[in-house]
Structure 1
Amino acid sequence: MPLIMDGGGTPSFWAAKKSVNSASSLRSFGTRAEFISLALINNMPDAALEDTETQFFRLLELASGDIPVYVKLYSLPGIPRSTRGEQHLRNHYRDIDDLWESEFDGVIVTGTEPHHLDLRAEPYWEVLTSVLDWAEQNTVSAVLSCLAAHAGVLYSDSIPRHRLAEKQFGVFEFRKTCDHAISRSIPDTIHTPHSRWNEVRENDLLASGYQVLTKSADAGVDLFVKKRKKSLMVHFQGHPEYEACTLLKEYRRDIKRFLRGERETYPALPLGYFDAVSTDLLNAFREIARADRREEVLSAFPETAAIDSLQKTWQATATSLYRSWLQYVSSRAWLRSGTLAPHRSVAESITKQTVV
């Protein structure tokens, strides 16, 4: 089923799709069309802003099944933006103040690149905590991704995050610990991409009443949940939304920073991601880059060979997880409305949108 995009413009990936149709109303779906309304609060820095949109749009489209999903885009103020980034937000995003007066069934809050060890020192902290308070009272469920998950448990339960000795970077195997509405459709063993320097620990989560749904001997906890007031808070330390090339892009970006002198050490290869042949090629390039530390060296980066070897082991699981989440949101949104059928008329609720 389609994603129903709020606003007059469509972000670039979706504008290129042949199935995109702009419309001023959705009466073709019927006067009582069934849909879920979501806020996507995308806080990623400019370099990843549009990629993150694409990741979540694709995942929601795959996971939605026969449930149309209406999406509004927001971003927290206080995140550094270039002129181009600010223009993109003006074209496609709503001001965060619009959130407080809007009605949503669910919300997805992404992470961002932190600039302080203590998240409470970040310029967006107060607005982020207001979003968390709002979500607990006004949504059926909220997904908090990566740094947003760390911020959520810090704010709600004073659970600290801990700095890792090395970056948790790659695709890791996780074990399902129990059945839950969000996790029951996934197999006992799954794989999920992670890219982080910090972690929250299982013992701290359990002591504060969180239910851990997936964990790993190598990468710790991934998926954990807790009901807060009216909303099920769903936390991911990893990134099931990542596309096949996302970790490769991050790895190449970190190499570029090394070559520019913006970081002292050459980045480690993402684990569980490349095959043996590509690993050898990338290790050979590492020696070249270390010996000749200039940005121009990046032109010899073996990107094509690396792309061909990527281990894409998580995408079916990611779709299953988000399908279960959308089904959870859908069923409880209808109950919340006091009806046996979906509770909004798309045609009445939305006056300006794009159908994908």
Structure 2
Amino acid sequence: MPIKIPDKLPATDILRGENIFVMSEARASSQEIRPLKVLLLNLMPKKIETETQFLRLLSNSPLQVDVELLRIDNRPTKNTPTEHLDTFYRQFEMVKDRNFDGLIVTGAPLGLVQFEDVLYWEEIQTIMNWAKEHVTSTLFVCWAAQAGLKLLYDLPKRTRKEKLSGVYWHRTHDCHNPILRGFDDSFLAPHSRYADFSPEYLAEHTDLDILATSDQAGVYLAATKDKRNVFVTGHPEYDVDTLHNEYTRDVGEGMEPQVPVNYYPDNNPENPPIGSWRSHGHLLFSNWLNYCVYQQTPYDLDKFSEANFTKGE
């Protein structure tokens, strides 16, 4: 099944150019099927780039997925046209009375900012509390994972001395967990963060199932036992050149960043980077949609309640 997104969204032409099945709104409305309703809270400055990356991963599923875009930072931005935001993005007030099968909260360039100094921290708290009663499963990515751990487990912000940047090997744990279904014993995934997620710290202070870890990058994937909250500390959605663009940006700003680990051939930024994480990125999102969302969500979202959840496998 395809992903359903607005016909004029820039991602539509990009994804169709990649031979990804994107269904028009008119055709989708004629099908006798209940699509999964997924809300994407996009906190990244370059919203068009980020929404395209996540929509690409959501498209790799046999389920029809209807995605709505959400924003909470209403300040003018130089990275995304105002017309685009006004046309394609919802305000929280427009969706707060509805229920959704899934919610994705993206990363944000706030690694060195204390939570209480984030301008929209109260709005983040409001949405995460709202999700407890209105969303079947929430996927927290990178900075959002740290924010989710703070709000759900009251874990303080843990910041590394140096930025973690590169593509790292990870080991899977609990291979029978459905979120890991089809994963190799070891796999690659990109990271770009200052946050620190050690397996020992999460094991001691939470009841999360720790599903994938790296000796260098710490915890990559963890989830609550009911799969209603899934935490991804890296960036499986990144394009091949995203880390490169971040690196060259930081070099241009005189920050003297370290070369992203295991990213450029021969560790030479003059060489074109190689994408080595696409397959497991697609698999992770497909598993989340199937086992955390589709198998758990009520058919009638108007009847959403805790009692609707099952241990579907």
CA distance in 2, matches of 1:176, 1:124: 34
TM superposition shift of 1:87: 2.7
Call closer, same or farther: CA 1:195–1:72 in 2, change over 3 Å.
Answer: same
The share of aligned pairs that are identical, in percent, is: 29
SS at match of 1:269: coil
Equivalence for 1:36: 36
TM superposition shift of 1:28: 3.5
The Cα offsets for residues 168-224 of structure 1, whole Å up to 9 and x where unpaired, read as 000000101113121132111111100011213323322221111100111111111
1:143 to 125, 133, 139: 139
List aligned pairs for 1:1-356, cutoff 5 A: 1-6=1-6, 10-16=8-14, 17=16, 22-24=24-26, 26-29=28-31, 32-45=32-45, 48-62=46-60, 64=61, 66-77=62-73, 81-82=77-78, 84-114=80-110, 117-179=113-175, 180-206=177-203, 207-227=205-225, 232-258=228-254, 263=255, 266-276=256-266, 279-280=267-268, 282=269, 302=270, 306-307=271-272, 310-328=273-291, 329-334=293-298
CA distance in 2, matches of 1:108, 1:116: 22
TM superposition shift of 1:78: 5.3
Greater percentage in helix: 1
SS at match of 1:332: coil
The Cα offsets for residues 252-311 of structure 1, whole Å up to 9 and x where unpaired, read as 2112222xxxx4xx11110011111xx34x3xxxxxxxxxxxxxxxxxxx4xxx33xx23
SS at match of 1:160: coil
CA distance in 2, matches of 1:275, 1:203: 32
Letter in 2 for 1:246: T
Equivalence for 2:309: none
Q: Which runs of 5+ in 1 are unaligned?
A: 283-301, 339-356
Indicate the larger mover: 192-201 or 84-93: 84-93
Call closer, same or farther: CA 1:121–1:15 in 2, change over 3 Å.
Answer: same
CA distance in 2, matches of 1:232, 1:80: 33
Call closer, same or farther: CA 1:115–1:314 in 2, change over 3 Å.
Answer: closer
- Relative contact order (alpha carbons < 8 A, sep ≥ 6): 1 or 2 greater? 1
Call closer, same or farther: CA 1:96–1:202 in 2, change over 3 Å.
Answer: same
Q: Which runs of 5+ in 2 are unaligned?
A: 304-313
User: What's the TM-score, normalizing by structure 2?
Assistant: 0.86
CA distance in 1, matches of 2:88, 2:299: 31
TM superposition shift of 1:56: 0.5
Letter in 2 for 1:44: M
SS at match of 2:107: coil
Question: Does structure 2 conserve the Cα–Cα contact (< 8 Å) formed by 1:159 and 1:204?
Answer: no
Structure number with bigger Rg: 1
Question: Does structure 2 conserve the Cα–Cα contact (< 8 Å) formed by 1:79 and 1:124?
Answer: no
Count of residue pairs brought into register by the alignment: 295
